[in-house]
Chain A
Amino acid sequence: MSGTVVVSGVPGVGASRVCEGARRNLGEGVALVNFGDLMLEEALEHGLADSREGLSGVPTHDRRMLQRRAGEYVARRAPEESLLVNTHLVVRTADGFVPGLPPGVLSDVSPSALVVVDASPETILRRRETSERTFPDEARPTVAFHRQLQNAAALSCAGATDAPIRHLPNEGEIDEAAERLASIAEGVIGSGNGRGSG
């Protein structure tokens, strides 16, 4: 069976760590696809960016192309494999917040389920401070606004694809959230129609 579980979180919430833990728990039956890695690979090839941080400065026209390419990649793999797609439903760019999965891209990704990894703005800001990665210097209201946009984007995506939304709190240990994500993914993939338990 195959299915695509799209996982999203506000940067700093720990969605990537949760995805990595879930991937290990799920074993060989599921592949982890990092949407940003696909975009960066394409951006490298075209000389548009040379790092993850550089992607946020890519002009709108080019960013849309990178998103389309990444979506097409998922569309090619999805019929044969079960995928855990780590992405952001809302992306902050130099121009402002934009959809991470615009309509055409969402259609290609065709999620069986959407998982929103969530934590309070305070937790997100604390994790950003201690992370090895570089994050934009944002105040609490901006992080809270980003969360709101993400929730709205999740609902919009669910409406367009019939994929249900799962809320995955990540306030505590990463391993705990990773186990829950693995369980959600197993339910979705096992059911073959994106309507697993959890």
Chain B
Amino acid sequence: MRLAETRDRFISELTFPVQRKTVIERLGHVEIDPPTGEPETVADVLGRTETRLFRSPDELYDALVAFLGDQYVGRKYYDDRGSNVGIDSEEVSF
């Protein structure tokens, strides 16, 4: 699932505050789609944080964003398809 879709799962399947181990037990298997490379699971990502308790969906989601692997984080204006002049280079004009 996409990163942005995890919040909906967190809200619908967890009760906050929630322990990290509970998140991992229930949703640790969920894979987060990366733009390139191998996907990580929620358990992979949360395994990097020392936070034991998430008080809200915001805290949990922010932790997920903060500890994502490198495959989810791009370089500014970098495009490995050849053009490095800006992100709108992906858009097509007719």
Contact = CB atoms under 8 A, between A and B. Distances in A.
B3 interface: yes
B58 A16 contact: yes
B73 A23 contact: no
Contacts of A75: none
B81 interface: no
Nearest to B61: A37
B58 A50 contact: no
Contacts of B88: 61, 65
B8 A33 contact: yes
Interface stretch (A40-48, A138-146, A155-163): A40-48
A73 B65 CA distance: 19
Contact of A132 (B58, B61, B72, B91): B58
Contacts of A31: 8
B51 to A, nearest CB: 12
Given A37-B61, A61-B88, A44 B4 contact: no
Contact of A37 (B3, B68, B77): B3
A23 B61 CA distance: 16
A47 B12 contact: no
A62 B73 contact: no
A56 B62 CA distance: 16
A51 interface: yes
A52 B59 CA distance: 12
A32 B73 contact: no
Contacts of A45: 35, 72-74
B45 to A, nearest CB: 13
Interface in B30-62: 35, 55-59, 61-62
A21 B43 CA distance: 25
A51 B58 contact: no
Contacts of B78: 47
B58 A46 contact: no
A34 B7 contact: yes
Given A132-B58, A132-B59, A38 B75 contact: no
A40 B58 CA distance: 13
Interface string A41-82: 100111110111000000001100100000001000000000
B19 to A, nearest CB: 17
Nearest to A20: B11
Contact of A44 (B7, B58, B65, B77): B65
Interface of B: 2-4, 7-8, 11-12, 35, 55-59, 61-62, 65-66, 68, 72-78, 86-88, 91
Considering the complex of A and B, which 5 residue pairs feature the smallest CB-CB distances, nearest first?
A: A47-B76, A37-B4, A47-B74, A38-B4, A41-B4
